Amino acid sequence: MVTQFFTYPAMTLVALLIISGCSDTKKIAVDLEDYSERLQSYTGIAIESLPDVNNLYAPNKQALKIDIERTSINLRELFAFNDCSLNQLVAQRNTALGKMQLPSSRYAYESELVHELAACQRTLQENEGKTELVAKLVDWSALKQQQLPQVWANLITQSIETDTHFTGGTGYISGTSDDNFQATKLALNFLLKSQNEHPVNASALELHLQQLNNTPLLAKKWRTQLLLAQELNNISPLLNTYLINNTCSTRKEEESIEVMRNIFRIFFAQRIQTVAGQLNNYYYQLSPLVEQLAQAPQMPAAFNEYLLLHNTLNFEAYTEAMQSHIQIWQQIFERCDNIAAFEASL
């Protein structure tokens, strides 16, 4: 006999929660559509319907990978370091699992290796007769420190979690706690600091990467600003046409502007501007972190250009579209106010 774990009401609740969660990522697109349709319906001015923005046109992930030269060490040299734990660490890398490391595991290993090379060097310097071994450690340490920034760059561009966060996911931001803003900010800070803190905390690294994977806030934010710029630029000509045709010279035209004021308040100010306000907040707090990633000299140029495009250029385009749209609304609202002021002066 099969046990029924959910009653029908419970199953319905679960379904509703799932639907609600999915719809939150599309809500801004629905709100923009409602806004456009309401304006067209009331003014009788038609505008073109545009597709949702989904493709961020990210560079090919494999093309961003940096090939790093392998360092070889023979067994005799390895076992010579029995005064420190370096030999155990190197042996770990040469196991079957060690040779199949994910980018995050590779970076954690290389970070620990740089730390251990320095520690082993200090230990051997205290013992006489270890000059040759110390010289090898100095050479290996210099090489590994030189390679580590490239290993870190591969962590950023090749990890499944970061790739999802920067380029993947679906939908748009909701402007609520579901966007996972604080966790995203902590994770990006951790990744940036991990360049200089060795050995990196491997468990914390995996935790922060998982947070980025669970909620790809940056990709959603970039997709949202593209959508807003596209849709507002598409709607603004309608408002311009309405502005030209309505001089607020009759009672009917004055009442029409009052209706438009209500459309602005209900559809734009209360719904669209709320999300846009959170988008701006995310930008001002996360942009410095994204800029640090984009300015890292070891990062592939194509990845830096991708970050610059969405974090700076497309944000500026969105900001311009938003400001232009609001200015037209202000001109519409001022039309009757200016006439009232003129009549009062007479």
Q: Give whole-number Cα distances, 217 to 64, 115, 229, 239, 273, in Å.
A: 22, 33, 18, 32, 18
Considering only CA atoms, give the Rg of the chain: 29
Q: Extract the tokens encoding 112.
A: 């620990």
Tally of CB atoms within 10 A around 303: 21
Q: 75-118 pLDDT, tens per residue?
A: 566 666 776 777 777 767 665 444 568 999 999 999 999 998 88
What DSSP designation does 13 have? H
Query: Between the CA of residue 22 and those of 43, 173, 190, what are the distances in Å?
Result: 32, 11, 29
Q: What is the pLDDT of residue 75?
A: 56
**180 neighbors 219 (Cβ within 8 angstroms):** no
Going by pLDDT thresholds of 50, 70 and 90, the confidence category of residue 23 is low
Whether pLDDT at 15 is above 60: no
Q: What is the pTM of this model?
A: 0.86
Q: How far is CA 290 from CA 185, 191, 196, 210, in A?
A: 10, 11, 17, 18
The three state secondary structure string of 192-237 is: HHCCCCCCCCHHHHHHHHHHHHHCCHHHHHHHHHHHHHHHHHHHHH
pLDDT at 1 over 70: no
Q: How far apart are CA 292 and CA 98, in angstroms?
A: 30
The predicted-structure confidence for 259-279, as pLDDT tens digits, reads as follows 999 999 999 999 999 999 999
Residues 114-162: pLDDT tens digits?
A: 998 888 888 877 766 677 778 888 888 899 999 999 999 999 999 999 9
